[in-house]
Structure formats: structure tokens, C-alpha cells
A and B are shown apart, each in its own frame.
Chain A
Amino acid sequence: MNSHFVFKYSVIWESVPILLEGVKLTIWITLFGLLIGFTLGAVAGLAKASRKNYAKRIAGIYIESIRGTPLMVQVLFLYFGLPLATGMRIPPLVAGIIAIGLNSGAYIAEIVRGAIQSIDKGQTEAGRSIGLSRFQTMLFVIWPQAFKRMIPPLGNQFIISLKDTSLLVVIGVGELTRQGQEIIATNFRAFEVWLTVAIIYLVLTMTIAKLLNMFERKMQIV
């Protein structure tokens, strides 16, 4: 151990208020990103579980291209690359939300597809046999059952996406990681600050896990 190193508690207390500003942004990006992600994922997942070949193919291309490339590259492309071609500059925050949304959407699509396909075929047949249309069968019979099964993996994705927001540091979004970086730029206390940042992430993810656990129990998933 470096004998000159002295742990300074005061650094933690000084940086927490600033870091909390970043936490706010981290949470907002995660929530809005996942809102987009869930919408995209539900549509792409339903398309992949559908019988329509063209829908399957389009959804497949989306899912594969997102899952097959790093989030960092997706963020850089959206923020630095795309404006050069379109001539339209997107604010970093918006680019960040879109990136998290697009990215989580691909993973959520697979969660949705898997959950839908895990529901017994007899359920669809029973629904159709009482005269429900394909759409009604999905809406009233399959989706409610599939949704229950989606909750645990969706919770997992929630946690992953929250941590992924730290990558947005590369386009200068003032979320938690960025705030930490900026504090260190002024006081050089990397050990205390990154430790604090890590603990805050841990508290956030553990809180989500706890909330999900309660929700799952309420939905009676065993």
C-alpha cells in the first residue's frame, strides 16, 4: 500500500450533493430509455413471435444489429456520426435516452418473444375456439400470462440499463459517472470519489432489485 495515501472522508461528504445531481439524471435517462425500450421491445418481440415472415425478419435485423454491436459504439454513432449525415444535431441527453432505449429494446424484444412462446399452445387454441380473434387472444389470454413471466428478466434489464447509462460519459451527459469525473478533475481524489460513485450505483441497483422482488411477490410469481 502507498504509505502516503490518506483516506479523506470529507471528500465523500463534499462530493455527495454534486453526485446526487447526477443520480437524478441517471434515473431519468434509465426511466425514459426503458420506456422507449419496452415499447420497441414489445413490438419487436411480438413481431418475432408472429407468423408474418417479413415482420420476423425486420425485428430480427433490429435485434441482431443492436445485440451484435457495443453500446459505446451505438452512442458514439448516434451522437457524433448521425448528425454529419442528417445535418441535425441531437442534444447529448436525448441521444443518450435514445441509445439506452434502442439498446434495451433489442434485449427486451427477446424477453418478450421468449415469454410469449413459453405460454402453452393450448391457451391460444382455447382462446380461438371460443371465437376470439388472433389479436384478442393475444390481448386477453396470452399477454397477461406472458407478462408475468417477463417481470423477472425485465427487472434484470432494468438494472443493466441503469448501469449502462454510465457509458454516456463519452458524450458528456451529466449523469452520475460524469459528475464523478468532473469532481476528480478538480480535487484529484479518485479513490474516494469513484468509491462513492460505485456505492451509489450499488444502492440504486439494490433498491431496484428490492422493489422488483416485492412486485414479483405481489404478482405471485414463483
Chain B
Amino acid sequence: MSGEMRRGTRVRAGAIRFTFDGREYLGQPGDTAASALLAHGVRQFGRSVKYRRLRGVLSAGPEEPNALLTVGRRPAVIPNVPAPQLKLRDGLILRSQNRWPTLSRDLASLLQAGGGFLGAGFYYKTFIWPNWRTYEPVIRRLAGLGEAPSACELPPPDVEHLSCDVLIAGAGAAGLAAARAAARTGARVVLCEREPVCGGELEFEGASIDGRPALEWAAATLTELEQRGVRVLSDTAMVGGFGGQIVLHAEPGGLPGANTLYRVRPRAFVIATGAVERPIAFVDNDRPGVMLLGAAERYLARYGVHAGRELVLFANHDRAYAAAARLAAGGMRVRAIVDVRSEAPGAADRAGTLRAELERGGIECLTGHAVTAAEGGARIRAVRVAPLVGAGRERRIDCDALLVSGGWSPSVQAGLQEGGTREYCAAIGAFLATGQPSWRAFAGAANGHLELGAVLADGHAAGEQAARHAGRSVPAGSGAAGRGDEPPRLAPFCRSPASLRLEKRQFVDLQNDVSVADLRLALAEGFTDIEHVKRYTTLGIGTEQGATSAVLGAAVLAELKGEPPAAVGVIRPRMPFQPVTLRSLAGLRAGAAYRVARRTPLHEWHAANGGLLEPSGLWMRPRHYRASGNDASAAAFAEARRVRETGGIVDGSTLGKIEIAGPDAPAFLDAMYLTKASTIRIGRSKYMVNLREDGIVLDDGLVMRLAADRFLATLSSGHGDHMLSHFEYYLDTEWSERRVTLTDVTEAWAVIAVAGPRSRATLESVLGADWRSALSSLGHMDFTAGQYQGRELRVLRASFSGELAFELHCRPAIAVPLWQALVAAGLLPYGLDALDILRVEKGYLVSAELNGETTPQDLNMEGLVNLGNPCLGRELLDRPGFHEPARPRLVGVRACDGRGKFRAGAQLTAPDAPTRPVGYVTSAVFSPSLGEWIGLALVARQLGESAQLTACDPLRGAQTPVRIVPPVHFDPSGARMKS
């Protein structure tokens, strides 16, 4: 096999090198990992999740539960890639999963050596003594499907947004018929197909459509579709969707690499996704070498790969005979066909004729029998077969591959999202999706039709109906007529009989190691609803989401409960409908593109001068400057001390700034702020506070009056957008008839705060003689405007540090020259950490105190409240609940011994109730001015001025006795800033 070139519909001549578990193999172009390894005789592809049993390939599609491979090298591996979908590329490195140290010798498989049964919910019933944590590390290492990567080297996908009249998922017979019908009405159609070629099952059936070979019809249809402008996307799977948008994922390699994500918004959606073959449960039905019947046909037809040399077929329908004939013609020897039905197909049917022919050719055709067990070790060597009724001994038939088919389950996942119900269809022994919204419909095998004639008619009708829904008129005309395999005459059969003891080896869900015994256990423990059974036993979770296990599980559960399958129902699968990497789903919103990075005009200067830039919300801001100290706290300490001793400059450009203008602007601001803005003189600013509707403080800042009808409001750095929306909302509701305009000018002005004893003198020397008299006469909270280097500059005398300070509002173009001039004149920069130290020393508030739960009274602003301005939030401010003794009050805290340390977040407790906090520390810093730890805290109002409390930090096991002090720790009279 390895020597000669295989021939098939998907492979070409050539050689591709790849490795699997460290060994090198050769494949052909067009091969998948599964086909190439099967061609080399590899039968073991991995081990199962729970019991670590060896597993082989079960299927030929993304529904593969067993053969999931890890691709690539650590740390950027890609786990859980289904081998039948993984197209080979030169140099691919593949590894099997869930085994250590090697696939053939796995340590954890000793778990099953003692015949141990790790039944459903075993975590809760074992590993109890002495403590779950004793076992947890080991179990966490063993648990899980595949290995999570710790790095991602995947490229971002291309993202395309499409809009169309009709989207058709699946280009098999039904999908092609639907696309043709819809396109002929002139509708804009998008057709997607998960496989690299269209046609679906037509590849195998040897059918004829409209009098010619089916594949010829398919090719002609595709040509017609292209001529009519239909967009045909192959290698593109429908993976999910919400709210009218369907998500398609194109991954040409089956392996994450260059890929495309399509977000399609169709007016009508036809789901022609076909049906997935399902297995039958019998003892050891997971042994490598047990494969789905259709999968073996695919490997033969597409890749020229033989599933085995001596085959046994096990099925419950007529199609097994046609399949046997095709496999035998392909060069494999079929030893027996085990048919569970009590009546063999008669001589009148084509299946009966075939059966007779096969028997004449030496194939044993058993009727009314079932395979009860798959024997062998690392691979299957024989099957045990027994009659289902009557006496008769169990026999053994040697084989090296067992091909199973229990019927087909329509792929209805897309119809069970956002509504949609499941209905049991006895004819096919599976569930259909009903109760669909008018724009979404199923067609073909996905709609329960298994005969080609019905499939084509159904697809045609669905395409016409979809075009109608999209507003097109449908011309008269019928669809294609075809004839393929005979109807399967399926007799529902889910599991072979077995003793209770052996039920734990009859697997219902291969991916999650769920057996018949698990289902029986779940029922015994009171889980009767199938969705509960799913969660308790893990049936149908994982990458295959019940594709091969849901219907089988429902049937077995129905048998165990003694109820009809229609009453039991089936589990609801979740998106994505086939494995997709998170990288692909993220589209373009990942990595550096995930969030906007906002930078101030001084950003480059900070970066070039040792500023440690970190995200603060969306902004990048310097925490401190490297030249100031060895580590973060030393640098912040030095910077803060320097500001108080001589002075410093800080970049405050991130401050939110909104201009409010118009004849009604003063009245508008009076309503929006706790105190009146209309009384501010032109050229002056005022500290103002906003309330929410419910009386809670929303934000604080300065409001500057630029003119009679023009104000500039500054807001916290993080709140700019939020406050703009807040003002805009009231402008559009209660104030919509008034003449007020709002303009966000946050990025129109850079802000440099110059603070410290030397600030005025340095500013005068930098700004020049023009500014001298204005600066020297500038009172506290006044501002003046002028120019610097030909651009606008406003100088506002206000302080967030408690020192004599000036806020320079300048146009961004002059921000860097102005900053550099100030540095050259001797004022060094300080960062956010130092800013925080300075403001805590002065008891100024930031979001830690304005935390969305505090009222103005809590924050010692009763005086402002009592001014009585009728503003937003005033009504609810008077609620009795806001005046209770347990309401928080803003206070300062210091360690009792003048040395102790405490952190923000520390809970404060009183001596008489050490486990019930009476408040917590909101901010804490080590103060250079006072030489000890100081903080601000919110404590219950009822506590006295000099209460003794303990600051408790349970995470770090620290406790510090503290005392309550006034919140302004340094220079309470404000003399320094008013000098």
C-alpha cells in the first residue's frame, strides 16, 4: 500500500511528508491525516478521555469523536483537530492525544486494568477522603480533551460580511436542487459546502439524475449556478449564527491557517446539511478497526484507502448490501453481513437480488443477528455474532475491520437554536427539527428524506419557497428527477443485548466515554430528563456535540426507560456546529486590534524618557518615571516628595472635557450639577459634582465659565464618554426643546498640570513677559487665556495636589514644546502613582470614593446639598435610607502606632464585633509628607470621630490597628495652594 500511488476522487500523485507521534509518514496531495495514516495501516489514533482506551478513526468527517489530533509544536499547538478533516501539508507535525508517555503505553490506562468503572458523577462519589484537594492536581492533569496551548501563532482570519436573498448550507443533491430553483427566480443566492467539492452523497450512490450520471448533473448544475451569479463557497462550513445572521467558516486546510469568516445576513435560509451515520452500541464497540460503513466507502472512493482486508458489515437496513458490493468491487474481502432485521430483503427488491449475488460470491449474509462484541486487543481481530431471537449459539467471525451502520441522523443543529423543536420520525429512527421560523427551512436528508428522488424534490421545493420568502416570484417549472439507492427500509436498532456487567463497555458516546451503564446509573439516581442525563453523564458534550451520540443516546435511554423515543426527546447541540478556533471566531477583534489604545500628545515623550506606560481604561498613562527610583513605590515616593518640596509637572490630557454652549446652557448645567453653574463668573471655575437620578454621586470635576453662554466642564479621565452620554440623554429627553449644544473637546486640549512651590515662577519664566501680570494676579480657581507659540493656551489656577498649581489647557500642537520647556526650566515630571499619593494626602476623591454607592452627604458635602439647587437626583437624595446611622461617611485613617501599614480594600472592624466590617479603606498610600501610611475610608456614620478600628486584610493575613482622622491629612487649611 505504501509503495504505490493510491487513486481516488480527492488524491493526486505526489508525496507529502509528515510526522505522527514522532514517526515520519508519506501521504499524497489531497489526503487527510486520517486517510494517509489509514493507508499506512495505522489503526490507533489516540486514547479516550476517561478510560484511556485506544481508539481509531470512526468516521470521515467533522463528527469524528475519537481521532482528534494535536497539531504543531509547543507552546503554540492546536489541539482537537479531527483527523478526517485535516488536510496534509508538507512538514505537518501531528500527535495523538490523551496518552502519556506514548500512545501504545499509557500510564493512566491502568485505571481500567482492575475493571474499574468510573461511572457518571464519580467525582462526587469518590476522592472524598481526606480532601478533594489531595486528588485534584492529579485529576486535573489527566482530565480534559487534548492539551491547551499557551501561545497562539494563528493569523487573523479575513472577515467578510455578505447579504443575500437565499443562503443554502450544503451542496449535496438537495442543496444543489435548492440553489438551482432559487437562482432561476433571479434571487441572489449564496451556497456553502463544507467539503472541497460539491455533490455530497452523489459521489457514492452511482445514481442517475435526469437521465445522466448524478455527478454529471451536479457539475452541470454548478456551471449553471455560476452563470447565474450564485456565490459558491466550498471548504466553507456553516458553524452557527444568532439573530438573523449566519456564520460560515472557510478553512481550506482543515487546519487553522489562512481562513475566512463570513457573516451572512440572508432573507431566507435553506439548511441542506444532510444526515450523519450513527453507530450501534455493543460490547467494546470502540475498538480500533470499528468504523462507520459510509466512512469506509468514503475512504475507498476518495482516497483509495482500504479500511481493512477482511471486513464484517453490521447494519439494520437495505443499503448495507449495495455498500458491500461497492467495497468488494474496491478490492476488499467482505466476510459477512450481519443484518439485525428478522426478514431479509426479498428477491423482488434490488437489495434482495444483490444479497443473493453476494451470497453466491461467498459472503455470509446473516439475518436476525447482531454483533455482540468486538474482540481483539489494540485492534479488532474478530467479532462475536449471536441471533436476536430463538436459540442459537454465539459465533466468532475473524476480521480486521467492522463497519457499522445504525441508520442516519439528520443534521438539524441549526434548527434547534433560537426556537425550534425536535420531533421523532419513526421511519428513519431519528429526530427532525420542526417549529422553524418562516425564514428558515430544512431540505433533503436533513429533512428526513433518504431517497434521491425525494431529496431532489424536497430541495427544489425548499429553494422555491425560500425565494418566495425573499420576495421573488417563482416561475413554473419542476426540478430534476433522479434515482439512486433503494429506500433503506430501516428497522431502528440501537444496541445489541448484553449482560448488566458488560454494559459499561457498550459505548454510546465515544468522545466522552459514556456507556449504557452510565445511562442506567443516571436513571437510577433520578435523572430522567434527557438534558439532565446529558449534564450528569457528559453525553453529547465535546467537539462532536452529539453528532454520532445524541440519537443513539436517546434511543438507548428510551429502551432503558421503557418509553417511546418521541417521549424521551434528544439533547440540544450547541454552536459551533463543527470545531472552529477561537482565533477565527474573534475575527479582527483580537490582539492589538481588540481595543482602541488612546494616547496623549505627550505619549512619545513619556516613552522616550523612562515613563512606565500602562493602560488606564483605554488610555496609556505613565505610572512613574524610571529616573525617579529603583522600583515603582520608591519612584512614586520620590516624585511626590519632589512636588511638595520644589514642584513637578504631570500629563493630565486624559481629562474628559465637554463644552456646553447656548442660551440655555446655564440653566441646563444648573439641572445637571448639584450646585449652580449659572452663578459662576466669567473667567472663573468651580468644583462641581454630578448626581445620578437616584441621588448617588456620578462624577466630579471643574466647570469653567468661558462666556455668558459657554462653559467647559472637566470630568474624570475614565468617565468622559459616559458623562457625554449622560448629558446627551437629558438633552434629548427633558431638555429637547431647549437651546443647548454639547461638544466633546477631550482631544482638542492637552492638559499639563504644573504643581509645587516653584510652579508660578517657572511658569512665568517659560511663558514669557506677556503672561507675567496675568499669572501673578490669577486667583485660586480663576483662569486666563492667551497664546503660546501662536496657539491657544488657557491657564487655570486649580490644584489636585494641594500645592500651588496651574492647569495648562493648550492645543495639542504645542503640548510637547511647552512640556519640554517646563522640564528644561527645572520641573521634573511625575506619574499617576505620585498623583495618587498627593491627592490622598489632601483627601481629594477619585473613583475609589465615587464608587457608585455614595451620596454627597456620605462624602461630607452636606453644605453643598443644603444650598438647595433643584438638580437631577435631588428628589431621591432625601430618602430616609440615605440618612441612616449605618450609611458610610468619608473619613481618613492612620495607623495607631504611626508605623503600621494597610492597603486599599482592607475591611475595618470595631473591637466589639471583629467579624463584621463597619467600613473599608478606599485608598491607602505611604505619605512622604507625613512619613507614615495614610488612607481614606468609608465607615458607618455612627462611629465617633476618634474611633479605634482594625484594618483587616484577610487575603494577606494582616491586621493593623487604625484610628479615624479627618480626611484631609496634609495642610488642612489649604494654605499652600492658595498662596
Answer whether A and B are interacting partners: no
By a beta-carbon cutoff of 8 Å, the part of chain A in contact with chain B is none
